[in-house]
Amino acid sequence: MSLQDHVDTLRAKHAELEAEIRQEIARPWPNEQRLSDLKRQKLRIKDTITRLIKQEEEALHAGVLRAAGRSEHASLR
């Protein structure tokens, strides 16, 4: 599974949790414990998505810097 596939799967789960939260809130007597659990799960997924995207960006940036360093060395020869 690629990183993008993993992030897409997490985003889908995040959306499912949002729908579950809305359904629970719409009930005449929402279960506060369930709401708390759903919100905690949703936040955990959001944090994971953010971390994965940040790691990917850092890896891409590091790769660009390494490539730029190699081209600088080549031009100095």
pLDDT tens figures, 28-65: 999 999 999 999 999 999 999 999 999 999 888 888 77
Taking residues 20-35, what's their average pLDDT? 98
pLDDT at 30: 97
Domain count, the chain: 1
Q: Residue 65 is part of which domain span? A: 3-76
Global pTM value: 0.77
What count of other Cβ atoms lies within 10 Å of the Cβ of residue 9?
A: 12
Residue 52 CA neighbour count, 13 Å, CB half = 16
User: Exposed/middle/buried for 63, CB within 10 Å: 0-12, 13-18, 19+?
Assistant: exposed
